[in-house]
Amino acid sequence: MINKGLSRLGAFFLYLVSLLPFWFLYLIADFLFVVVYYLVGYRRKVVQENLRNAFPEKSDEERHILEKKYFKYMADLVVETIKMVTASKKVLIERVTCTNPELIGEHFGQGKSIMAAVGHYGNWEMAALRLSLYVDEKILIVYKPLTNTVFDEFFNNMRSRFGASMVAMKNVLRTLVKHKEELVFSVFVADQTPVKHDATYFTTFLNQPTAFFLGIEKMAKLTDPAVIFCDVQSVKRGYYTYTIIPITNTPKETAPHEITEAYVKCLETMIRREPQYWLWSHRRWKFKPEDKI
């Protein structure tokens, strides 16, 4: 009960912080960067190893610059995400823009649901919230529940503020089948690391063998939506655009792993363009193909 009470107090504090204007939040982010990077050194070794393996062609100095850029952006990402707890529709419309939203209408007009495979790149929370203002049809956002139930509820309430429905990963197939007669826009953050027993497919990603979930591909072949990728770009601090990139309109006709490989290619292209906006502090390469033997 004490832990739950502290969690509720923490959630209330985040709510109060979200009421602050962006300019003040970015002052907090600047301070947070100094603390996290210089004083605490949060996961710096993880980030350094990930960057060294992903970009062996870059010099130590180039990777060091990239490392600092990443941690500076991570601080921005924290305060921007907190701001989403109370940000208005007007703020979202001003700060996040889809360059080709007409493709959404085209797919729905053809009677096709849409399955979006996205990555932990840019402010994915802000982009998902903005999606609710583009789409009138049902939106399903697939997520991995937090162990802390108070914060899990807190962030899910944030994500669903404008009409999206949150679906835990373990329930996603059942939910998609339930809504198979409806037009649905489902969103999957597909660059997470599978647990070891689910790491059955490896492909080359950022210069190294990397395990990817095949669940999106399997569900796409089962429900036959249009599969898309969202390419995100940072315009300036706190402002983003994203472009819809079609992967396939006919998942059932694709070859094995074709959808997964297309997603991986789109994701890597986006990351290589501006690497600092990807989640480098994530322990993405926990194991290798030989670990499965």
Q: Which of 98, 44, 39, 95 is nearest to 74 (CA)?
A: 44
Q: Is residue 203 a contact partner of residue 261, using CB atoms and an 8 Å limit?
A: yes
pLDDT band at 50 (very low <50, low <70, confident <90, very high): very high
State the pLDDT at residue 63.
97
| CA gap 120, 259 in Å, rounded | 18
State the pLDDT at residue 55.
97
Q: List, in sequence order, the alpha helices (H) in 19-145.
A: 22-33, 44-54, 60-83, 89-95, 102-109, 124-131
Q: In what order do the strands lie in the sheet containing 184-189? A: 96-98, 239-248, 226-236, 114-118, 184-189, 138-143, 165-168
State the pLDDT at residue 64.
97
Contacts of residue 289, Cβ cutoff 8 Å, sequence gap at least 6: 202, 209
Average pLDDT of 60-72?
97
| CA gap 63, 51 in Å, rounded | 7
pLDDT at 285 > cutoff 70: yes
pLDDT band at 144 (very low <50, low <70, confident <90, very high): confident
Bridge pairing between strands 239-248 and 96-98? parallel
Q: Which of 119, 123, 27 is nearest to 74 (CA)?
A: 123
pTM: 0.93
Residue 196 burial (C-beta neighbours within 10 Å; 0-12, 13-18, 19+): exposed
Average pLDDT of 127-141?
90
| CA gap 131, 165 in Å, rounded | 12
How crowded is residue 204: how many other Cβ atoms within 10 Å of its Cβ?
Answer: 11
pLDDT band at 209 (very low <50, low <70, confident <90, very high): very high
Q: Backbone phi, then psi, for 58, in 5-degree steps?
A: -85, 150
Contacts of residue 20, Cβ cutoff 8 Å, sequence gap at least 6: 28, 83
Q: Is residue 248 a contact partner of residue 229, using CB atoms and an 8 Å limit?
A: no
**Which amino acid is located at 56 in the chain?**
P
